[in-house]
A and B are shown apart, each in its own frame.
Chain A
Amino acid sequence: MATPDVPVERPNVRSIQFWLMGLLPLVALVAVIALFVSTNPVSIFSGDVPPVEVLESQRLVLDDQGFRLDVLNSGPDPISIAQVQVDGAYWNYRFQAGDAVLDRFESASIRIPYPWVEGEAHEIAVITATGVTFPFAVDVALATPEPSARQFRAYGLLGVYVGVLPVTLGLLWYPFLRRLRREWMNFALALTVGLLVFLAIDTFEEALELAAEVPAMFQGESLVFLLVPISLLAIKLVSDLFRSGDSRLLLAYTIALGIGFHNLGEGLAVGAAFAIGQVSLGTFLVVGFTLHNITEGIGIAAPITTKRPPLYHFVALALLAGGPAVLGVWIGGFSFNPLLAVVFLSIGIGAIVQVVYEVARLLIQDSRRHEESALNTVNSLGFLSGVAIMYFTAFLVV
């Protein structure tokens, strides 16, 4: 037998008691923390335990003055920098910013006048007062590029080659795509899904790889896993706001945005390659990305073949998808920061996944209308072709 519901009385008036009840746990929390800090019951564990020291490199600059190493104490205890070794020899240094004693999350800039040898490897080791050594490797010693108008232009042009140019070239297929029959149009859309799936996986790998270089306190890997769904939801919410308008054009913009974030990541790779002096590598990265990214234009153009948007939309789409590559090359070339890269790439993954969902929905709607399976031969082949094109053109850049 069910017991009769007892109506709980909910007072309508928000009395002082109401607010007090809300505050009570917080007040109690403060009290508990104060008690813990004042009595310090864990002191029993920390008797003679040596401090935990974590020192991470934020940036290593090579110039004709030698090295400049920016370090961050990301461990729980203060660190006192005692000496600096370069290639297994004690070397003179001075602090350009900060000083020898670094509290938690404090950073310092160490200037080391060292005659490094171009094209060879070096290792800097920072030794703390307790004798812990933190090695920082220079894989290939080359002068770090310094921002100048000329450099800026040159890097920007690289970004154009990697991003804007291929996307624009891809968009030139638009008139061709428009004249395709329905099945082949679906093939193009399925191909878009395939190449986006590839991009999502590739970007995800890249993000995780970079996450390992992010200082531990920022929890790089968690950041990737958290930012992907957040960006997915955010982009979904934003695009829902505009859904009342032209949903196909909106979809093209969303695709362009996702691809834009992805190209930002590629720009970072190219910029970093040039910055650490791998010019021949950088050159072929550029050519590779140009070939690789040309299909992205098809992806953007595919959903809008049934419309005929004005030309400026195409310009905007090309800039949205390709422009971030320019930004990426600048960042990668002048001040590579793994944390920033991880954030951008994770947002990109979310955007791409969201786009995959939208394009797949278009295909499903269309197949329903024609009473056929969404996984028909044409769509399946399109998807496979998309993945295959990306996979094999990636040979140029992996």
Chain B
Amino acid sequence: MSAANVKRRQFILGALSTVLAAFGGSRLLPSIDAAPPRQSSDGHGGSHSDGVFGVVGEVDHERNGFHPSELLVDFNYGDRVYEEAGRTVREYNLVAVDKEIEIAPGLFFPAWTYNGRIPGPTIRCTEGDLLRIHFVNAGSHPHTIHFHGIHAAVMDGIPAMPGMLFDMVGPGMIQPGDSFTYEFVAEPFGCHLYHCHAIPLKRHIHKGLYGAFIVDPPEGRPEATELVMVMNGFDTNFDDENEVYAVNTVAFAYNNDVIPLKVGERVRLYLINLTEFDLINSFHLHAEFFDYYDHGTSLTPTQRRVDTIMQCQGQRGILEFSYQKPGMYMFHAHQSEFAELGWMGMFHVTEEEHHGDA
């Protein structure tokens, strides 16, 4: 279309319109009815097509090597667990690998991952456990693992600064082919995270190197159905804006595979924000309210009876709620933009099944 062409002409024409209208020129001209005036009288013209938002097609989860429905409930309590001097020791193996991930049907992102998945394994333990995380860098760039928690500087997983000694910053960036074991006692209890802290930081995080790190209080929490959701985004065209938003990586994953819940059951949702490029992300629950424990570091809610919370990058917390009525309930970022770009899902709540005698 020569729209630009026509626009140029519009400028002067505006001024001349009154003069020319006096000629009655417009009355002499034929009417073209399929091209209505700029704004129809009701201002609501256009198409009333019943199209729907969302992606077309399906993601091949098998090729990705992980299924978003499994990531929700996949808690890793240790690849090796044993007692040592009266303390529980949990060992984890994390390997950084480059991997192409299908983040929306047909759309592939050249990711950097821990253990081939985004988010990486959900590391779960109890406050006071000794953790040994064996990290192998099998990727093409230097990486680290930086845990949010209380630990010594050498275990902080930051890049080494020139002139700083090992006991001040630790091993620095782990080069491709190298490995390192991060070791510390898990504290404080809460909903935490880990991520690569290699530089440039922005790219290393948004490429996919992050995961959930959940430390249970020694006395435990009440029985509940537990879910992990890591809010993330992907910039596929390098414009420092995300083309895809999601929880647990795949756009609209829980729209296609809705999350089954039961009426009345207590749901505990570990929510972590690792979205890059945007200041905040948020979570909105439909038709129900929840208690919120910011960082999960307290046993009493920091916010009661809310249905929307927001988190900056690295912020996280625990949501607790239970549905009173069966049905399909939406949850999504309450930035509509993020929701329509993939960060949206559904809870499918059904009545508790009756067992045995009726």
Contacts and interface: CB of A to CB of B under 8 A. Distances in A.
The interface centre, meaning the residue of A60, A80, A84, A396 with most chain B CB atoms within 10 A of its CB, is A396
Interface in B109-129: 109
A64 B47 contact: yes
B98 to A, nearest CB: 11
B161 interface: no
Interface residues on B, range: 35 or more
A92 B56 contact: yes
A278 B10 contact: yes
A395 B13 CA distance: 8
Interface string B25-36: 110111111111
B251 A90 contact: yes
Interface string B1-12: 111111111101
B106 A269 contact: no
Given A131-B236, A142-B36, A116 B47 contact: yes
Interface in B187-240: 234, 236-237, 239
A118 B39 contact: yes
A92 B44 CA distance: 22
A82 to B, nearest CB: 3
Contact of B25 (A118, A275, A283): A283
A275 B35 contact: yes
A281 B39 contact: no
Nearest to A67: B47
Contacts of B30: 153-154, 157-158
Interface stretch (B62-70, B176-184, B301-309, B337-345): B337-345
B40 interface: yes
Contact of B40 (A119, A158, A333, A341): A119
Given A133-B236, A142-B35, A82 B47 contact: no
A146 B62 CA distance: 46
B299 interface: no
Given A100-B106, A115-B48, A141-B46, A280 B53 contact: no
B38 A140 contact: yes
Given A119-B38, A276-B3, A151 B32 contact: yes
Contact of A133 (B5, B8, B243): B243
Given A66-B51, A131-B237, A395-B12, A119 B45 contact: yes
Given A82-B106, A83-B107, A278-B6, 18 more contacts: A64-B48, A81-B106, A91-B54, A92-B52, A92-B56, A100-B106, A114-B49, A115-B46, A118-B44, A153-B30, A277-B37, A284-B17, A284-B20, A285-B9, A332-B2, A336-B1, A395-B16, A396-B20
28 contacts: A64-B49, A90-B341, A114-B47, A114-B49, A115-B46, A115-B50, A116-B46, A116-B47, A119-B39, A133-B237, A133-B239, A143-B34, A151-B33, A151-B34, A154-B32, A210-B2, A268-B2, A269-B2, A269-B5, A269-B6, A272-B1, A278-B10, A279-B37, A280-B26, A284-B20, A286-B25, A287-B20, A398-B12
